[in-house]
Amino acid sequence: MVSLLSLYLGGGAELLFGSVKEHHVTLPNQSEPWDMKQLLVWIRGNMLKERPELFVQGDTVRPGILVLINDADWELMGELEYELQDKDNVVFISTLHGG
Amino acid sequence: MCQVDEEYNGQLEHRVTPRVSKKCVKCKENTAVLIIRAGDAFCRGCFKEYFIHKFRAMLGKNRVIFPGEKVLLAVSGGPASSSMLSQVQEGLSRDAPKKLRFVPGIIYIDEGGASGQSMEERERAVAQLESVFRATNYHYHIVHLEQVLSLPSSVLDAGSSATEKPQTGSSYKAAVDQFIQTKKNQHPDLSVENAQSHLSSLSMHEVENGVTSPITPEHTQALQKLFASVRTLTAKEDLLHTLRQHLILHTARTQGYTKVMMGDSCSRLAIKLLSNISLGRGASLATDTGFSDPRYGDVVIVRPMRDYSSKEIAYYNRMFDIPSVFIPGLDTKAQDKASIQHLTESFVTKLQTDFPSTVSTIYRTSEKLHTACPPQNTNTQPFAKCLLCVCALDTKLGESHCQCTKTASHHRNVLYSLNKSTCNFILKLVFLFPNHINISTYPSLLLCYSCRLTIKDMVSERTSITSHYS
């Protein structure tokens, strides 16, 4: 099923995406539902403009990047195993730059 | 049991993964939206309460801010300091029983010159932040880092025109000098009321909101040359931190602020603690990471955000729309091993993901640190402070603590690795703060171990600043 997602990047993470904070993406069709793991792979391949190691590390996001799915901590949603629904809102905030 | 061929027949425990329907641990009614610390899940409303309460509890537990006092908020635009600003607004505006009562001002230091940003980018960032500051209705000061080099010759709005020789400065400066001098001779426990009343008795012009004297491209170039002369990123970051502190301190002093609030979060302080040990600042750990930092005497630095982890701050800012501006710094997009600070940051954050209690353990350890006061003769004046970071000197220069009896040549022998021009640059910095060292009678330099390393890192080619003063 086609998933329309809105992605938001904050805290400096947008620098890796051409300084654009808001993105609306349509994920390509596939038989199984998309989960976060696949989404990260997709982002790494299609959206990241530079320095992928600053965003994705191995399977998961780099330590220090907070992920919110529909304004809730992704740890409560199952982290990488969470299955994406249509019109979900995913937020990546980098907490590495202090205040 | 515990034999080689033992069979474990019992069921192995599975780690319970939280599910969407997990309830808030506090109110037990609403759905949890955030996990804090090791496993506490909070709902949105309870989290907001928890966040606000923590700020006020931190200020209330350490009663260092007095009612009516002028407090300078150091806002860098990042999430933690923006959060701090919103908490101060929240605390001051409430008609709740215990309203916070102090007079806030905001300072923003534009470091674009050091981190290589273009003028347009810097102006854009400043404009964004100005709109945020204007919405708060507090006094704000926008200070450019270039001004740290030209402070002696520029005329600040407060009317204190500093000259090279501190003694022949304006009456305001002499008064501040004398005030600091008298404070030094008193008991180390400065009472805030005394400082406050004395400062208010000095005539100071009210500063309207806005930018201090505009900077020229030559200033920016001079600053860039200074930073270019430092070889390693570690030393650059250290130097930037020191210069920033000097600027904040100077602004606080000239504008009559007796307290400065910094937005260091728990995670940032844990990283700072470990990297300071690596940098050789172990002696001043307690003041560098504690709640209050009294090293400057009349101006006390407090860190009310030191109990918040970066995650909590980021989440709160996102949920409750706290405006913050991202400004790239010296170590943006740097390699992991580019500097000691950066490496420590990646180490701690990586460890934190697998062991969620890392940061809080480091934080709790830092709370147990106390400053060990070196034994002081009652006759000697407390001059044994590092020039740059103003912490107590941790390097031995001789048998006695009284530095004024040492000859200039002895000190020069000690600082053999510094050449004349670098010394002059440091002397120039000293002119900014004559209250620490009286240059005319005391021609020597005192640096702590770590600041010495930072200065050593500067190459021997002359920068335009030092050649101006040689």
CA B307 to chain A, closest CA, distance in angstroms equals 14
CA B20 to chain A, closest CA, distance in angstroms equals 5
Residue found by looking up tokens 């530095």 in the block: B403
CA A94 to chain B, closest CA, distance in angstroms equals 8
Q: Please report residues of B whose CB lies closer than 8 A to that of A93.
A: 314, 318
Residues of chain B in Cβ contact (below 8 Å) with chain A: 17-20, 22, 32-35, 41, 76, 78-84, 263-265, 267-268, 305, 310-311, 313-315, 318-319, 324, 326, 328-329, 332-333, 345-346, 349-350, 352-353
Instruction: Give B256's contacts (C-beta < 8 A, 6+ positions apart).
Output: B70, B199, B200, B204
Helices (H), B67-191: 79-93, 112-115, 119-136, 147-150, 171-185
Tokens representing residue B287 in the block: 């003041």
CA B317 to chain A, closest CA, distance in angstroms equals 10
**pLDDT (average), residues B398-408:** 41
Nearest CA in chain B to A94: B314
What is the C-alpha to C-alpha distance for residues B461 and B50, in angstroms, rounded to an integer?
Answer: 54
What is the C-alpha to C-alpha distance for residues B417 and B425, in angstroms, rounded to an integer?
Answer: 14
Record: contact A99-B84, CB cut-off 8 A: yes
What is the C-alpha to C-alpha distance for residues B230 and B167, in angstroms, rounded to an integer?
Answer: 32
Mode of pairing for the β-strands spanning A65-69 and A60-61: unpaired
pLDDT score at B377? 45
- Of A15, A71, A99, nearest to B33 by CB-CB distance is A71
**pLDDT (average), residues A22-28:** 88
Confidence class of residue B433 from pLDDT cuts 50, 70 and 90? very low
Quick check: B273 and B360 in contact, CB under 8 A? no
Quick check: B124 and B327 in contact, CB under 8 A? no
CA A21 to chain B, closest CA, distance in angstroms equals 11
**Per-residue pLDDT tens over the stretch B39-90:** 788 888 999 999 999 998 888 888 888 888 889 999 988 899 999 999 998 8
pLDDT score at B134? 92
The per-residue b/e assignment along B384-415, b for 16 or more CB within 10 angstroms, e otherwise, is: bbbbbbbbbbbbebeeebebeeeeeeebeebb
Residue A13, pLDDT > 90, answer no
CA B179 to chain A, closest CA, distance in angstroms equals 33
Quick check: B260 and B252 in contact, CB under 8 A? yes
- Of B41, B264, B314, nearest to A11 by CB-CB distance is B314
Nearest CA in chain A to B333: A54
**Per-residue pLDDT tens over the stretch A48-99:** 888 888 888 888 888 889 899 998 888 888 888 888 888 889 999 988 865 4
CA A75 to chain B, closest CA, distance in angstroms equals 7
What is the C-alpha to C-alpha distance for residues B16 and B168, in angstroms, rounded to an integer?
Answer: 72
Instruction: Give B395's contacts (C-beta < 8 A, 6+ positions apart).
Output: B447, B448, B449, B452
The single-letter DSSP state of residue A82 is P
pLDDT score at B459? 56
Record: contact A76-B35, CB cut-off 8 A: yes
B321: how many CB neighbours lie within 10 A of its CB? 8
Quick check: B34 and A72 in contact, CB under 8 A? yes
Tokens representing residue A61 in the block: 């996001």
Q: Please report residues of B whose CB lies closer than 8 A to that of A11.
A: 79, 314, 326
Tokens representing residue B310 in the block: 């970066």
Instruction: Give A77's contacts (C-beta < 8 A, 6+ positions apart).
Output: A69, B20
Confidence class of residue A8 from pLDDT cuts 50, 70 and 90? very high
List for chain A the helix, strand, coil content (%; round to 5): 25, 35, 40
Record: contact B33-A12, CB cut-off 8 A: no
Nearest CA in chain A to B306: A99
Classify B35 as helix, strand or coil: strand
CA A64 to chain B, closest CA, distance in angstroms equals 6
Confidence class of residue B11 from pLDDT cuts 50, 70 and 90? low
Helices (H), B15-78: 44-61
CA neighbor of B301 nearest in space, from B309, B313, B292, B310: B292
pLDDT score at B467? 38
Quick check: A85 and A1 in contact, CB under 8 A? no
What is the C-alpha to C-alpha distance for residues A82 and A76, in angstroms, rounded to an integer?
Answer: 10
Record: contact B305-A73, CB cut-off 8 A: no
In the stretch 33-92 of chain A, residues with CB closer than 8 A to chain B read 51, 54, 63-64, 66, 68, 71-73, 75-78, 91
Record: contact A77-B17, CB cut-off 8 A: no
Classify B455 as helix, strand or coil: helix
Q: Please report residues of A whose CB lies closer than 8 A to that of B17.
A: 78
Record: contact B265-A71, CB cut-off 8 A: no
Quick check: B319 and B311 in contact, CB under 8 A? no
What is the C-alpha to C-alpha distance for residues B402 and B124, in angstroms, rounded to an integer?
Answer: 50
Record: contact A54-B313, CB cut-off 8 A: no
Q: What are phi and psi of B414, to 5 degrees?
A: -65, -40
Record: contact A97-B332, CB cut-off 8 A: yes
Tokens representing residue A89 in the block: 């809102």
Tokens representing residue B96 in the block: 């709740």
**Per-residue pLDDT tens over the stretch B102-129:** 889 999 999 888 888 888 988 999 999 9
Quick check: B138 and B104 in contact, CB under 8 A? yes
Confidence class of residue B216 from pLDDT cuts 50, 70 and 90? confident
Confidence class of residue B181 from pLDDT cuts 50, 70 and 90? low
CA–chain centroid gap for B129, Å, is 19
Interface residue of A57, A73, A90 to substitute, partner B, most B CBs within 10 Å: A73
Query: What percentage of chain B exceeds 90 in pLDDT?
Result: 15
Q: Helices B449-456 & B233-255, crossing angle to 10 degrees?
A: 120
Confidence class of residue B162 from pLDDT cuts 50, 70 and 90? very low
Confidence class of residue B195 from pLDDT cuts 50, 70 and 90? very low
Residue B376, pLDDT > 60, answer no
- Of A54, A73, A99, nearest to B76 by CB-CB distance is A99
Residue B378, pLDDT > 50, answer no
Record: contact B314-A66, CB cut-off 8 A: yes
Residue A31, pLDDT > 50, answer yes
Residue B275, pLDDT > 80, answer yes
Q: Please report residues of A whose CB lies closer than 8 A to that of B268.
A: 98-99
The single-letter DSSP state of residue A57 is E
CB pairs under 8 A between A and B: 97
Pick B207 or B290 by higher pLDDT: B290
What is the C-alpha to C-alpha distance for residues B254 and B72, in angstroms, rounded to an integer?
Answer: 12
- Of A63, A66, A72, nearest to B350 by CB-CB distance is A63
Average model confidence (pLDDT) across chain B: 72
pLDDT score at B6? 61
| ipTM value | 0.92
Record: contact A76-B22, CB cut-off 8 A: yes
